[in-house]
Structure 1
Amino acid sequence: MIAALIRWSVANRFLVLLATLFVTAWGIWSVQSTPIDALPDLSDVQVIIRTPYAGQAPQIVENQVTYPLATTMLSVPGAKTVRGYSFFGDSFVYVLFEDGTDLYWARSRVLEYLSQIQSRLPASAKPALGPDATGVGWIYQYALVDRSGGHDLAQLRALQDWFLKFELKTLPNVAEVATVGGMVKQYQVQLDPLKLASLGITQSEVTDAIGKANQETGGAVLEMAETEFIVRASGYLKTLNDFRAIPLKLGSGGVPVTLGDVATIQLGPEMRRGITELDGEGETVGGVVILRSGKNARETIAAVKTKLVELKKSLPSGVEIVTTYDRSKLIDRAVENLSHKLIEEFIVVALVCGIFLWHLRSSLVAIISLPVGVLIAFIVMRYQGINANIMSLGGIAIAIGAMVDAAVVMIENAHKKVEAWHVANPGEELNGERHWHVMTEAAAEVGPALFFCLLIITLSFIPVFTLEAQEGRLFGPLAFTKTYAMAAAAGLSVTLVPVLMGYWIRGRIPSEQQNPLNRWLIRIYQPALDAVLRRPKITLLVALLVFVSALWPMSRLGGEFLPPLDEGDLLYMPSALPGLSAQKAAQLLQQTDRLIKSVPEVEHVFGKAGRAETATDPAPLEMFETTIQFKPHEQWRPGMTQEKLVEELDRVVRVPGLTNIWIPPIRNRIDMLATGIKSPIGVKVAGTNLTEIDAATQAVERVAKDVPGVSSALAERLTGGRYIDIDIDRKAAARYGLNIADVQSIVAGAIGGENVGETIEGLARFPINVRYPREWRDSLGALEQLPIYTPLGTQITLGTVAKIKVSEGPPMLKSENARPSGWVYIDVRGRDIASVVADLRRVVNEQVRLQPGMSLSYSGQFEFLERANARLKLVVPATLLIIFVLLYLTFARFDEALLIMATLPFALTGGAWFLYLLGFNLSVATGVGFIALAGVSAEFGVIMLLYLKNAWAEREDLGDSTERGLVAAIREGAVQRVRPKAMTVAVIIAGLLPILLGSGTGSEVMSRIAAPMVGGMVTAPLLSLFVIPAAYRLMRRRHLQDEPNLPQGKVV
């Protein structure tokens, strides 16, 4: 069938060329219109439910909001993990769905289940879905700075909240613009409880009066002088004096009692759960632009930057916008780096073809088919929705060498056929139909086998397609694009290449002996092959020993999920002990930012303590997230690398009470979404008793610090929060006619304060808060003296009906699938993750005791590595079986297919040693490299076996079925075809070296994929050139005619 397709293509060459032009134009358009990003979106499909529950402690939030929501969401179809966070005044529930779930279908299902639980939640708890964004949606961040000092934090916050945020939200593909830091202006009404008591006014009456004094209404229209006048009654509170003049009641003599008589009214900041700081110079206000799921990050960032430039003209004098994180820089660096690598590969492969073939027009056949194949891959990418990113472009990059294999072998075979025709027809000119016939038969002779070779290489990537979750989303685009490129190369090898051969392989074709490189290859290879054929069993024994030698480096290779990716920016994510105040957090934030900024390579430091005003940021106040922007590498000190820079930062930033963790921004957000863990390794302890969980996590922290390679370990404290507990005496309260709610209203309103409304000032809205003055709530004694009015008209104190004490409790609560859990963050430096986890598991099993009903699991990047390894152990054998079936279909002989399969492990030996020499760890990336190497080595074996079979078949046709004839056939099939095999190796190595030796964004992952392939290009060709001929002789000699005069093993 393949030979028939080749003949049809040659016969209809005009249609083939026309189709090629059309595909080329289509491919160029696809390249220009394909979205560009740095990495594939690795995040799970997530739906976030955020429920503000103002003033409530974490335990109350957990019991009344988070737990009911989490247990309900466990039943949502497709939900695989439900993660709950309970903070002071806020609940976050993350529902993570199975791969392939449509985000908007998932959101509708969550809303459906949310409606069922709504009635069971407190009235003041209003759940809402987070933005339709992914976990890596934070694409751009900025800070508002006024170095002139003309605007305070409240004014900058208002500028962000009521101007910039809404302007940016109008842009397409922006899901949300979140504000972080600064201070929200608040009208604070501080009631004097003694004055209220003396005048007989309750706090609820004050609240009602404020609400009635802050209204506007309309009075329809009036017609006067043939004109309509719209009637309105203005009543919004605008100034502090407006508040002071609010009437509460009429006093004696008809004199009104106003709010100013019983309260102090002032402007102040609302309670803060998020703080930002820039460059160690002081607090500022920040904004975070969050990308809508599935949209183009690069285009959206460009639109945001353009919009900000336009808005700068509208900013108040002195205010400037400073970019603190811009993912488009990473995207541009990554795509530019790999684009340059692709160009380098094209050039190097073209040079290799030219050197080996020694014929420019023949080289062009292979060279031209290469970009056409790449363009076809881009067409499929464009319509499948795969972005151009590090992984998808990397798939094309590692395929380029193998893509020209078929063309190279076909061209070389055509050279042989032309040379043979001239020998058979001396003095005649090869042209016209005779020329096309020779080209067609040359392509048809090797085309079917080559097509199956490329198909085998394509199918060898089946294991990569089966990877799940994050690893599947990361390497899936690479597998798709490599498959598309190889499939395009396979298709072109039997359509376009034969046509181009017919047009361009003309005129004087230099013989193989005229090329000095080919003469040198034969001179080296022929005596070596003779030695191998004299001792085939020893050759196989040596090959076996070489394979066994690979066990030594493999046993010493470490393991990791992925090598660290240089994103250009870095996150500093320490965690402080719980109970940190906002003032202390701001102080620590400025201190750490100033230390980081002292490193010469740092350009900007944007620190965040706590969370931004978005459901995508469930961070407590004691969690810091400092974004570090570095200067261009040209401005770094000589010899400085990313690793050295992190080590220096770790030495410089030493603050008591903070445990350092350094991680790239995208990597961090992906990991925190997938596992909740912000460090490479995490330990999760689940149970029912917080004290027992806390004890277990702290025990894990202690033993983890002694594990080699652990740079830091920190267990989140579950019981370190400081609480003032007000235990109401039910009997005492009942004696005064009070129920629990009456007393709790004093606690919630007078002590905690409550927002009773908001002022409307143009487009801005600012909260109105009512509470008692600080002196009534700054000590236990003052709290006990808080006055309470009873229904009997008497006045008592809070201490009369309640006991007030200080205790410890959870500063925050986390749960996974509705089970309370405690987490331990473990950072690793100087050692591979797999080895660290192995030692960690051992010491934890030996030294940490769990109470009945508790469970312990390991999470973080190691979880991804284990899952990928488990999947590959199942899929790789199945894939090898499929390849074996294809080999059997190719050769129609069980023993020959088995020969190729049996030699594959030997080809992997070079890859193992090369990884060891480079100091790389085993990872999913290197596993992908080994899978690709297996496919290529199978191709080498198939091509060699094809040549040996053809040569032996010719001998048998001549009636020479002796061992002498077998050896001669092997020499002819191997030595006379050393050029295509050497070219195949050379073009693959040439295609991989720019990736292996390259630097820049993305090179960390791509070099790990290329390393096993480059190392394998040493042993795989040796296998093809020596082991297969030796094995073929042993395999065929059993069926030979007796030849008594030929000494055993002699090569003639």
Structure 2
Amino acid sequence: MVRKLIGWALENPIVVILLAVFLAIIGVFSFLNVNVEVYPDPAPAIVEVIALFPGASAEEVERQVTVPLEVTFAGMPGLKKINSKSLFGLSDLKMTWHYGNAYTYETARQEVINRMSTISQPLPSGVTPAISPESPTGEIFRYVLKVPKDASGRELYTLNDIKAMQDWVLEREFRRVPRIVDVTSFGGTVRRYEVQPDPDRLRRYGITLGQLQATLTNSNATVGGDYINPGQVAMTVRSVGLFGGALDPVNKVLGLKSPAAAATILRAEELRRIREIRSLVISSVNNQPIRVDDVVEGGRLSPGQLPGEQGVVVSHQTRLGRIGYWRADRERPPRSPLSIADVGHDEDDRVTCIVLLRKGEDTLPALKDVKAKVQQLNEPTSGRLLPGTKIETYYDRTDLLNITTDTVTENLLTGVALVVIILFMFVNNIKTAIIVAINIPLALLFAFTMLYVRGKSANLLSIGAVDFGIIVDSSVVVVENIYRNLAAHNYPDLPMKERILRFVKEIDHALMYSVLIMVCAFVPLFAMTGPEGALFGPMAQTYAFSLAGALVLSLTLTPVLCMLLFKRFKPVEENFLVRALKFRYLWKLQLCLRYPKTTCAVMAFLIGGTACLVPQLGREFMPELEEGNLWLRGIGPLNMNLDHQAAIAKQARAIIARFPEVESIVTQSGRPDDGTDTEGFYSGEYFVPLRPQKDWPRLVPQTGWRRWIWGSTRARTKREIVFAMNADLERVIPGVVWNFSQSIRDNVLEALSGVKGDNSLKIFGPDFDQLELRAAKAKNILQEIKGVANVGVFHVRGSSHLEFRVDPEKCQKWGVTTADVNNVVSSAVGAKAMSSMVEGEKLFDISTRWPKWRRTDETSILDIPVDIINNQVVLAQGSGFTPTASGNALPPPAISGSLADTSNPISSTPRIRLGDLVTPVGADYAPDPNGHFYRAGASTIYREQGKRFIAIKFSVRERDLGSAVDEAKARTKDLFKSPYEGVWSGEFEQMEEANGRLMWIIPLSLALIFILLYAAFRSFLDTIVIFSNVFDVAVGGVWSLYLTGTNFSVSAAVGFVSLFGIAIMEGLLLISYFNALRIQGLPVHDAIVQGSLKRVRPVMITAMTAILGLLPAAVSTKMGSQTAKPLAIVVVGGMAVTLLLDRYLMPVLYSFYGHREPPEGGGGMAH
């Protein structure tokens, strides 16, 4: 089959060249159009379900919502674990599936949808679980809404206006963009119309809170009648009673050019709706109406008083989160200024939005469409934004993609150029160098074509880690064999085509075995599962396609080019470099063969010493991909309110803004209204995009030899920035625990571990107090360990509750039910919605709520009245008190006098307060001896697989992760005794799982290679000697990691896999040469010397192309080079040592047994 392919190619050279040109064209097209991701999504299928339970404590949420949902979703096919969080008003469940194609996100999501229809027990009224659109790597675009200001600097539009525009207009616009699954908004306020009743006025007029609520509900509705048939026309009958006619006031301002005029119209429309609410008739006394105007705070409006100042106001729903935004000036001083105003613009309360990519979709096309939509919306003629408002982008993943792609492209081009130079240096023939070098871009283009055709994405790891030594090896073997035979004038009487065919046929067996061995060497990449499989699976595919393309090209295009370019072949003598290398190598080889035992002892010492060095290497899962940003998290006391957290955020922005490397800052205090982020007021998150590294000021003085090479100063490293920033924040803002990460990395690690932070210790157990106690001890231990930083406990307890326990006996005395009391609390304090203000497609709550001064503390809340008539709570009046259609035209009654309804039972019965119906109790629900209603409760309840846990998060700096956690595990083991258990999670957990899988995958791969080698040589001795090459290259890889201070990671492990494949291929060809020369009758010594000298040039070419091809990636410090750097360092170091060790060890080992008769076929792969 292979020989037929070679023969066909030589018979049809024009077709082969045209096919190569076609491949180049299609490859370039594929390269330009294939989707490129910064980072492959390492998370398995994860489905997040959120359920809002407004007003419920964490314990109630856990008991009534979280546990039933956990039971419902348990046992789904492929489900690995369920993590849940229960906090005030919100239940969040993350369900993680096992890795594998059988459990895609779509199938997992459908399984969850199916289970949601069969929840194990009824959920509380109004609680509806929904699937969250959040994705670990899906946050591709972020923007903030800019608001116009008047001459005094005051913003023209309210936060209600901006939030409504985001929720009801922009969110829908971006959801229509292809590949976008959803958008999440954060910050701003949701408009709410609040009716603030005055309890004294209610009592004076004999109106109950229930009557007022019923009026709001019944007076804002539209109903339909039936058809009437006047003549031949069918006509519907409708009664329209919605406030404002259900018209959207924004439609009146969209065409205006003046933002000030638009804002004036919007405020006027709000006041018009307030007047409508104030004029509603609640009841009538002596045929005179009692309006809402009469019973609200402040009573009837006085002349000149605006309607929205009190009584009925435009307010907003309880805020759960807040956004702050700072952006740097284009020109800023290089040193840290004293004030945040000196370097940029700070805005304390903004509305921001995160655009989410659907899982599995292509990033670049989605971003292109999103930016086109932003441009369209920002056009004044779009008619979608309020006049003067703009969408301002502060994060666009295109920037990261472009920067990292440029880094990888630069490394690739530099590597290719170095490879061409090396080829010319060793072959001393420009035609030969071109023939070999042309296969590199064509093989890569073939890989891109296959990715594009199969709909797969390329990523910077899979592209940047390609080893040119492996790709070019097959072409080197073919060209070198053709060149050497032509130089030796073999078969001079045959036509060039026949000669080329014979020369290539000599090595087709060796080529196929080499490729098979390389495929077996890459079995660990294909067999990886978990996060490392998601990361390196695309790289394995890229390698496979590149190898396949390089092999086909070496058997088709390479022979054709040799036939065409070598027609007037003139052999060139080996250049000085090759002769010098052979001379020095021969001298050293003869010395080693003269003292074989000493040589083996020295090699054994080097290998043994290297083995002792392995435990000294640091361990980590994966080096961080530089994203060009920082993601900070500050955790404060659990009972902190939102205003306090926002004040801390403003202070933190001022500190962070002093760093000249910072471009902008977005602070997220609390959580968004839709519950897609599960943080309380105690949490502040900071997204800090950084300037391009080339623009960082040079602030650090240089000393010594570095000063002479790189100048007197240098820019700070990112690690130095983090240390300085952390020190400043801890000094100025005590009591807050800080954590530093990056945006994508933080999301991925949280998705995999269920805890926000790089690493965490989870303590499982049933009792909250014991969990807190053990967590405090573990925290103290971790803080004492060298290299462990930013230690913080995600406390379970610490939230403050003002709990009013309804007393059944007191309620029985007055004939009041618990539901009656709860309704008063939810309405007077919690702003229970009674109706909705319809504004076009928008809906806003209309609620009743006591004025703020009547519900600010325990005393005022206990004083809330509960009206009763004959020991019955009155929620509505009889038919005599129903508002009449003509009542609105009657004059309002006086507050006192004959017009007041003194016969109404409400006015004559004793007034019962909330304090008369509740009893203070403690945590165990026993009466509180001090009479306090305050109680400390759970803030956030964490669960995994149905068990509660508390988490201690930490980071590791200036030390490898593996040794730090190993020490921590040893020092904390005494804390965990049944029923309490400690589990180390986060990056460490992923590292341990990956290493465990590699421990059996790599030996399996080597076993397959061993079988292949034995099948080729039929000799255990030959196979074992070839395998000795693995130890040689491992020496170089280990020492390169140690000397560069690089931790062992999955990326480094992949580098070793590449090395093993190259080393075994080289060993296979060398031993095959020895056997072939022995079969020809040469003595062992002569066969070793001649065979080794023949392999000097091809070995040098393969090794140097591998070294120089990845050298740019090994030394690069630019953004995008971090993940491939350990791999490149291992390959460069291993191949460098290969030039020194394996060229001596294998010949010496062969000399011990080479006198025996070579096995049949043992020299068949020599060329």
- On whether the aligned pair clears a TM of 0.5, the verdict is yes
Q: Write the distance in 2 (CA, Å) between the matches of 1:869 and 1:477.
A: 19
Cα shift at 1:575: 1.2
Q: One-letter code of the match for 1:731?
A: E
Separation in 1, partners of 2:674, 2:455: 28
- Aligned residue number for residue 691 of structure 1: 769
Given that residues 90 and 675 in structure 2 are in contact (C-alpha distance below 8 angstroms), is that contact kept between their aligned partners in structure 1?
no
Question: How high is the sequence identity, in percent, across the aligned residues?
Answer: 27
Cα distance in 2, alignment partners of residues 231 and 118 from structure 1: 44
Which deviations, in whole Å up to 9, do the C-alpha atoms of 1:836-890 show, x marking residues without a partner?
10111111114x355x422210001001100000001111111110011111222
Question: Is the aligned partner of 1:637 residue 2:706?
Answer: no
2:652 equivalent to 1:652: no
**CA apart distance, 1:24:** 3.4
Shift of 1:584: 0.9
Contact persistence 2:195–2:296 (CA under 8 A)? no
| Alignment counterpart, residue 843 of structure 1, candidates 964, 971, 984 | 971
1:184 aligns with 2:190: yes
Deviation at 1:806, TM superposition (A): 0.4
Indicate conservation of the 8 Å contact 1:401/1:991, yes or no. yes
Q: Per the alignment, in what secondary structure is the counterpart of residue 759 of structure 1?
A: strand
**TM-score normalized with structure 2 length:** 0.84
Deviation at 1:1002, TM superposition (A): 2.1
Report the equivalent of 2:214: 208
Q: For residue 758 of structure 1, report the CA deviation from its aligned partner.
A: 1.9
Partner of 2:472: 404
Question: In 1, are the aligned partners of 2:34 and 2:452 still within 8 Å (CA)?
Answer: yes
Residue 601 in structure 1 maps to residue 601 in structure 2: no
Describe the superposition over 1:466-519 as per-residue Cα deviations: whole angstroms up to 9, x where unpaired. 222222111111122112212322333333322322222332333443x11111
Following superposition of structure 1 onto structure 2, how do residues 967-1006 of structure 1 map, counting pairs within 5 Å? Answer: 967-1006=1085-1124
1:881-903 CA deviation, whole Å, 9 max, x = no partner? Answer: 00111112222322211211133
Q: Report deviation, 1:776.
A: 3.3
Task: State how 1:1028-1039 maps to structure 2 within 5 Å.
Answer: 1028-1038=1146-1156
Match for residue 584 of structure 1?
644
Quote the Cα distance in structure 1 between the aligned partners of 2:171 and 2:201: 42
1:494-509 paired onto structure 2 within 5 Å: 494-509=555-570
Q: Which amino acid in the other structure matches residue 184 of structure 2?
A: A
The residue correspondences of 1:719-730 to structure 2 (distance < 5 A) are 719-730=797-808
The alpha carbon displacement at 1:15 in A equals 4.9
Bigger shift: residues 213-222 or 616-625: 213-222
Matched position secondary structure for 1:255: strand
Of 792, 796, 812, 2:871 maps to 792
Q: Which residue of 2 aligns with 1:441?
A: 502
Superposition deviation, residue 935 in structure 1: 1.0
What is the distance in 2 between the residues matched to 1:976 and 1:308?
A: 64
Structure 1 residues 439-518: aligned runs within 5 Å: 439-513=500-574, 515-518=575-578
Whether contact under 8 Å (1:374, 1:485) holds in the other structure is yes
Whether the 8 Å contact between 1:559 and 1:835 is mirrored in structure 2 is: yes
Query: Is residue 357 of structure 2 the alignment partner of residue 241 of structure 1?
Result: no
SS at match of 1:134: coil
Further displaced range: 806-815 or 384-393: 384-393
CA contact (8 A) 1:51 1:126 kept: yes
Residue correspondence of structure 1 range 311-350 to structure 2 within 5 A: 311-314=377-380, 315-350=385-420
Offset, 1:439: 1.7
Task: Confirm or deny: 8 A CA contact 1:48 1:615 kept in the other structure.
Answer: no
- Could you tell me which amino acid in structure 2 is paired with residue 110 of structure 1? V
Partner Cα separation in structure 2 for residue 119 and residue 556 of structure 1: 55
Instruction: Report the alpha carbon displacement of residue 208 of structure 1 after superposing the two structures with TM.
Output: 2.2
2:948 is paired with a residue of what secondary structure?
strand
Structure 2 counterpart of 1:141, one-letter code = R
Question: Do residues 415 (structure 1) and 483 (structure 2) align?
Answer: yes
Q: Are the equivalent residues in 1 in contact too, given 2:486–2:571 (CA < 8 A)?
A: no
User: Residue type of the partner of 1:307?
Assistant: K
Following the alignment from structure 1 to structure 2, what is the Cα–Cα distance between the partners of residues 952 and 11? 36
User: Contact 1:44–1:135 (CA<8 Å) still a contact in 2?
Assistant: no
Residue identity matched to 2:750: M
The answer as to whether partners of 1:787 and 1:798 remain within 8 angstroms in 2 is yes
Question: Shift of the alpha carbon at 1:976?
Answer: 3.2
Q: How many residues align?
A: 1019
Q: Structure 2: which amino acid aligns with 1:154?
A: N
Residue identity matched to 2:1117 = S
Correspondence for 2:836 among 754, 758, 765: 758
Are the counterparts in 1 of residues 426 and 577 from structure 2 also a CA contact under 8 Å?
A: yes
| Residue aligned with 1:302, SS | helix
The separation in 2 between residues aligned to 1:42 and 1:401, in whole angstroms, is 28
Mapped to 1, the partners of 2:727 and 2:111 lie a distance apart of 49
Are 2:1014 and 1:888 aligned?
A: yes
* Paired AA for residue 609 in structure 2: S
- Structure 1: state its 5+ residue gaps: 1041-1052
- Is residue 10–residue 560 contact of structure 2 (8 Å, CA) maintained in 1? yes
Mapped pair 1:273 → 2:311:
no
Q: Distance in 1 between matches of 2:553 and 2:203?
A: 92
1:240, distance to aligned residue in structure 2 (A)? 1.1
Listed one character per residue, the Cα deviations across residues 54-104 of structure 1 (whole Å, up to 9, x for unaligned) are 121121111111111012111222221211122222221222222231222
Structure 1 residues 610 and 779: CA distance shift in structure 2, 3 A: closer
Contact 1:732/1:800 (8 A) holds in 2: yes
Q: Is the 8 A contact 1:49 1:129 kept in 2?
A: yes
> 2:1012 aligns to what SS in structure 1?
helix
Name the amino acid aligned to 2:281.
P
CA displacement at 1:985 relative to structure 2: 1.1
Contact 1:206–1:259 (CA under 8 A) maintained in structure 2: no
Q: Secondary structure at the match of 1:334?
A: helix
Residue 111 of structure 1 aligns with which residue?
113
Check if 1:146 corresponds to 2:147: yes
Q: 1:950 aligns with which of 1059, 1068, 1076?
A: 1076
Q: Partners in 2 of 1:147 and 1:1004 — Cα distance?
A: 42
The structural deviation recorded for 1:122 is 1.0
After TM superposition, give the deviation of residue 288 of structure 1 in Å.
Answer: 1.0
Give the distance between the partners of 2:283 and 2:562, measured in 1 at CA.
101
Aligned to 2:898: none
Secondary structure of the residue aligned to 2:838 is strand
The aligned amino acid for 2:497 is W
Of 349, 367, 370, which aligns to 2:437? 367
Q: Of 792, 797, 821, which residue of structure 2 is paired with 1:714?
A: 792
**2:801–2:937 Cα contact (<8 Å) kept:** yes
Scaled by the length of structure 1, the TM-score of the pair is 0.93
Match in the other structure for 1:927: 1053
Task: Name which of structure 1's ranges 729-738 and 683-692 shifts more when overlaid on structure 2.
Answer: 729-738
Aligned partners of 1:572 and 1:627 also within 8 Å: yes
Query: Which structure shows the bigger proportion of residues in helix conformation?
Result: 1
Instruction: Say which SS state the counterpart of residue 94 (structure 1) adopts.
Output: strand
Any idea what the Cα deviations from partners look like across 1:259-309, whole Å, max 9, x if unmatched?
Answer: 642452112221111110011431111111111111121222222222212
CA deviations on 1:595-627 (whole Å, 9 max, x unpaired) are 111111111111111223455422222222211
AA in 2 matched with 1:209:
T
Is the contact made by 2:278 and 2:291 (CA closer than 8 Å) also made in structure 1?
no
Native 8 Å contact 1:540 1:1027 kept in 2: yes
Match of 2:40 in 1: 40
Per-residue displacement from partner, 1:443-467 (whole Å, max 9, x unpaired)? Answer: 2222321331232122212112222
Listed one character per residue, the Cα deviations across residues 373-426 of structure 1 (whole Å, up to 9, x for unaligned) are: 11221122224433121122134x32x22111121122122122112226xx8x
SS at 1:617's partner residue?
A: coil
Question: One-letter code of the match for 2:681?
Answer: L
Partner of 1:1045: none
Matched, 1:741 2:859: no
Q: How far apart are the structure 2 equivalents of 1:105 and 1:312?
A: 38
Match of 1:813 among 922, 933, 941: 941
- CA-based RMSD of the aligned residues comes to 2.3
Equivalent position amino acid for 2:531 in 1? Q
Distance in 1, matches of 2:295 and 2:590, equals 111
Taking the aligned partners of 1:1035 and 1:251, their CA distance within structure 2 comes to 119
Per the alignment, residue 129 of structure 2 pairs with 127
Describe the SS at the equivalent of 1:1005. coil
Report SS of the residue matched to 2:1122.
Answer: helix
Partners in 1 of 2:1139 and 2:1075 — Cα distance?
18
Task: Describe the SS at the equivalent of 2:1087.
Answer: helix
Q: What letter matches 2:1142 in structure 1?
A: S
Instruction: State how 1:772-921 maps to structure 2 within 5 Å.
Output: 772-790=850-868, 792-793=871-872, 795-804=911-920, 805-846=933-974, 848-850=975-977, 852-921=978-1047
Question: For the residues of structure 1 that align with 2:28 and 2:1037, how far apart are their CA atoms?
Answer: 36
Shift of 1:995: 1.2
> Whole-Å Cα distance in 2 between the matches of residues 900 and 779 of structure 1?
82
